[in-house]
Amino acid sequence: MPEKHQIDLADYRLEKAKERLQSAATLIASGSFSDSVGRSYYAIFTAARALLALKGLDSKKHSGVISLFNIHFIKSGVLDKEAYQTIANAKAKRERADYEDFVEFSHDEAANQLTKAKEFIEKVEQVLMDLKKDSMS
């Protein structure tokens, strides 16, 4: 059962994820598609960390967070495999945007990434609500 500080941290991280989602939308509107792809990834990543907070888990590495998320929320059946694919694909795109030369993302690619991030956060928010409810009963 999550403790109060874990629930508070999860809620805080979820709000940060939503802020990053809004930043991604703003970046699309300004024509900064590659930067939007990065912000969408960080929205997804932060939402995954919100779930991990309820279990008292975290990692200093992105790959560690994704691995823990996969073990505790995908393989356990809490979320479907599509959620894992979303975070893994978003990470790969963010790395291309940040580290590869001559990589450009289109409006449609950035908008698609934003949509996937919104859907991911909605799923995470539902799981958080369910887990918090279970801990109070």
Q: Give the pLDDT of residue 1.
A: 76
Q: Give the pLDDT of residue 137.
A: 63
Q: Give the pLDDT of residue 83.
A: 96
Q: Give the pLDDT of residue 95.
A: 97
Q: Give the pLDDT of residue 2.
A: 82
Superfamily of domain 4-136: Nucleotidyltransferases  domain 2 (1.20.120.330)
Which residues of the chain register pLDDT less than 70?
A: 137
Residue type, 92: A
Degrees (nearest 5) of the Cα angle 26, 13, 73? 110
Q: Give the pLDDT of residue 98.
A: 94
Token digits for 86? 């979303």
Q: Give the pLDDT of residue 27.
A: 98
C-alpha closest to that of 76 among 120, 113, 131, 117: 131
User: How far is it, in rounded angstroms, from Cα 5 to Cα 119?
Assistant: 26
User: How far is it, in rounded angstroms, from Cα 136 to Cα 80?
Assistant: 25
Q: Where are the domains of the chain?
A: 4-136
